[in-house]
Amino acid sequence: MQYRRLGQTELYISPVGLGGWALGGTNDWGPCSEQSAQETVAAALGAGINLLDTAPIYGQSEELIGRALQGRRQQVVLASKCGLVKNGSWTDHDLRPQTIIRQLEDSLSRLKTDYLDLYQIHYPDPKVPLEAALETLARLREQGKIRYIGLCNVGENELRRAAAVCPVASVQNEFSLLHPQKGQAVLPACCELGIGFIGYGTLCGGILSGKYRKEPNLRRADARNYFYKCYRGEAFLEASQTAVRVKELAKQKQVFAPAVAGAWVLEQAGVSGVLMGARTAEQVRQNAQAAQVALTEAEIYFLEKDK
């Protein structure tokens, strides 16, 4: 595994990171057992993956990862987030100082560590100025509880505002063959400002692995119903056509389809790494191949056809 420097930080991350949402065991993805989580994290470390990303809103994800990392904390770049809270069946934004502080303390407890390598604002809060939230994070960094500050799901203007307040290590936005615009909107600014970029949603919930031949019968609460929005109607047909090309190229290169989808993101200028969710050791091993796949210009053009 060839590691990449994250922006201008001292962190060097694996090009492929393990996204922790699917490990959470919530209605978003369905249950995940302790054994599966242990095997998934162990497979990630065994494949050279050192970036593990989670969040308190991901159900049991932090607890499972924390237990799986016992005795191996120093092997990973551990990232979590703040700013989303459950309010009954709803998810609300909350970047008030007391909420950020409480969420960090709770995350540290669940992850069984006394610091996080990367602590990220999950989403901007329309009720709290971004600058105020960053001031709280800067104080926590001064206390040694976080090493670096990151942003998720932001646009260029928000990124520039944040960078004017304090050093920003990275941006984490959705970025995939199906939804490239969310990453492309901030990548030039990241490159200009020396800020790392981590893409998530690389497989769009698994559709780019090519495992869906028809529209899946998903639970109403399943994240693929409300988050990725490519599992129904015309959007599903378009995504399926892209998935076919991904599988075809993967067969030619003798790798698994997720590796090609991940490699496409990693080929984009300014990208530090990609997060790929997994719930089994085999999924991790397939995803990890993305770090070893090189795509030619012709192959990239083939994947992007009709985009």
CA distances (Å), origin 63, targets 40, 81, 111, 290, 295: 14, 14, 6, 27, 37
Q: Which of 12, 58, 115, 148 is catalytic?
A: 58
CA distances (Å), origin 23, targets 30, 35, 94: 9, 11, 23
Cβ atoms of 18 and 47 closer than 8 Å = no
The C-alpha atoms of residue 187 and residue 196 are separated, in whole angstroms, by: 9
Q: Is 58 a catalytic residue?
A: yes
Cβ atoms of 208 and 258 closer than 8 Å = yes
Specify the length of the chain in residues.
307
Sequence-ordered alpha helix ranges (H) in the chain:
34-46, 61-68, 97-111, 130-142, 156-163, 181-184, 187-193, 223-226, 233-253, 257-266, 281-288, 297-303
- Torsion, Cα 19 154 10 270, to 10 degrees, reads 90
Q: 294: which DSSP letter?
A: -
The C-alpha atoms of residue 31 and residue 142 are separated, in whole angstroms, by: 37
The C-alpha atoms of residue 123 and residue 103 are separated, in whole angstroms, by: 14
CA distances (Å), origin 137, targets 55, 82, 112, 118, 190: 16, 10, 20, 11, 20
Per the DSSP assignment, residues forming a β-bridge with 77 are 51
Cβ atoms of 84 and 54 closer than 8 Å = no
> Within 13 Å and on the Cβ side, how many CA atoms surround 144?
2
Q: Which three-class secondary structure string do you get for 64-83?
A: HHHHHCCCCHHHCEEEEEEC
Catalytic positions are 58
